[in-house]
Amino acid sequence: MINVPAALVGKATAAVSRFGAAVKPKLQGGIGGPEDQLRAPLEQLLQEVAGALGVELVLIGEASLAALGVRPDYAVNVSGSRAGYLELKAPGRGVPPMWTPNGHERRQWEQLRLLPNVLYTDGEHWALLRSGELVGSVARLNGDLRHAGSRLAPDGDGFIRVLQDFLLWKPNPPLTVSQLVKAAANLCKLLRGEVAETLAREHTGEETRPVFTGLAKDWRALLFPGLTDEEFADAYAQTVTFALLLARVDGIDFNGAPLSEIARQLGKKHSLMGKALSVLTEQTVEGRSIVVATMLRVFGVVDWDQLSKGRQDTYLHLYEDFLEVYDPSLRKQSGSYYTPNEVVSAMARLAEEILRARMGITRGFADDDVLIVDPAMGTGTFLLSVIDMERYSIPPCD
């Protein structure tokens, strides 16, 4: 955690006192829901703390987050970048992990716990959670919100510490492929849910500008005739996730770049993936998806050279490992198990030998009459092996 200067603690204490003074008459008035009475004072409190930290804060209300299916009360932007999400509960309701959630809260938590920076508060308790894990301890304010008024105060420096860590969050670069896989799988699950929920809203007419419906129709017409909405949402989420990961493998800078520019840069080397990312995001999620905004921050700090440690096959392992976390049953169903390069090379050389020695095709794979088809291609390991054999003119096995 970040150290907290004494001057900052003083400013936070004064802000909490003003928060208490603003909340007390609202709660005692007994009009409207208790949670709703916290909103305006909470927004002012957060603005004061952000000002003390020297950052610009923008809180985006839940109406713009409806596509997620679960609605965090606020998306939080700090200095122009998405910092995280804030979930507000009624006073005394408690926060994870010191609470007993009802069914709705539990379903919401199962989604929000996949995000890397979430602040839960009921006005009295403040908890910072990253990928479902509590950071530090739950901070408390001394005093009951209904009666304390201006006497409300932080209990030690825990309150300002939690807000400082939340507002100043910057993603840490994953140090291992496993860490990257977990982050990617969590965000891909959320994107899948976001797309599925938006499709459902489009079907009921709640979305005034339906875009996913037309895109799914095109996929069915051109690629997968029997594709369900759920399968489309899954394919969409995985394609966008891996296009962004591939962009980082290629060293494309995400800092401040719109998705359209990332897609353009990706298309210079990977024309199909670049075009796919452009088509899939241009009218659907660019500037609107809370998940993709988080992906850009989390993936943007990935150092692929450090992760791969010079190994050429690291990216080829990535999808198998990803599916094991994202959807183990889908991995089994699709047969997504990585074949080591040594085995692939031996199999390709054996096929080359059969072509030349048994079938009299002297040019092997390079012959114009030889067609190479991989009907269950995952990461393309076999085709890459064939290409490498022809590129370096590797002779057949003796």
Query: Do the beta carbons of residue 278 and residue 264 sit within 8 Å?
Result: yes
What distance in Å separates the CA atoms of residue 91 and residue 112, rounded to the nearest whole number? 20
pLDDT at 130: 94
Which pLDDT belongs to residue 45? Answer: 97
pLDDT value for 118: 95
Model confidence at 12: pLDDT above 60: yes
Domain assignment present for 397: no
Which of 121, 138, 167 finishes a domain?
A: 167
pLDDT for res 206: 83
**Same domain, yes or no, for 205 and 159?**
no
Note whether 326 and 362 are same-domain residues. Answer: no
Residue 214 lies in a domain: yes
Write the pLDDT tens digit of every residue in 201-243. 899 988 878 889 999 999 899 888 888 999 999 989 989 999 9
CA gap 269, 278 in Å, rounded: 14
Read off the pLDDT of residues 266-290 as tens digits, 9 standing for 90 and up. 999 888 888 889 988 887 777 677 7
Does residue 318 sit in the same domain as residue 345?
Answer: no
- Strand bridging mode 74-78 / 118-121: unpaired
Which tokens is 19 given? 């928060």
Domains in the chain, number: 3
Summarize pLDDT for 115-145 with one digit per residue, the tens.
Answer: 899 999 999 999 999 989 999 999 999 999 9
Which H, E and C letters describe 282-328, residue by residue?
A: HCCCCCCCHHHHHHHHHHHCCCHHHHHCCCCCHHHHHHHHHHHHHCH
Q: Of the spans 293-302, 344-353, 373-382, which averages the highest pLDDT?
A: 293-302
324 compared with 189, residue with greater pLDDT: 189
**150 & 213 share domain:** no
Give residue 256's domain range: 177-334
- Report the alpha-carbon distance of residue 367 to residue 365 in Å, rounded: 6
pLDDT of residue 67: 47
Cα dihedral sign, 42-43-44-49: positive
Same domain? For 358 and 310 the reply is no
Asked, for residue 243, whether it belongs to a domain, the answer is yes
Secondary structure letter of residue 140 according to DSSP = E
Strands 57-61 and 74-78: antiparallel
79-94: pLDDT as tens digits: 888 899 999 999 999 9
pLDDT at 3: 64
Burial class, 148, CB count within 10 angstroms (exposed 0-12 / middle 13-18 / buried 19+): buried
Asked which of 334, 355, 378 is the last residue of a domain, the reply is 334
Q: What is the DSSP letter of 138?
A: -
Q: Are residues 159 and 296 in the same domain?
A: no
**Which residue, of 286, 303, 334, is where some domain finishes?**
334
The verdict on 330 and 371 lying in the same domain is no
Does 329 lie in the same domain as 355?
no
Nearest to 78 by CA among 30, 117, 35: 117
Burial 226-242 (b: 16+ CB within 10 A, else e): ebebeebbbbbbbbbbb
Residue 114 shares a structural domain with residue 251: no
- 194 & 84 share domain: no
Residues 386 and 347 in one domain: yes
Q: Of all residues in the chain, what percent carry a pLDDT higher than 90?
A: 41
Task: Count CB-CB contacts under 10 A for residue 97.
Answer: 13
Task: Tell me what pLDDT residue 25 has.
Answer: 94
Mean model confidence pLDDT for the chain: 85
Helix axes 229-249, 177-203, angle to 10 degrees: 140
Lowest mean pLDDT among 5-19, 60-74, 78-92, 371-385: 60-74
Q: Is residue 198 domain-shared with residue 326, that is, in the same domain?
A: yes
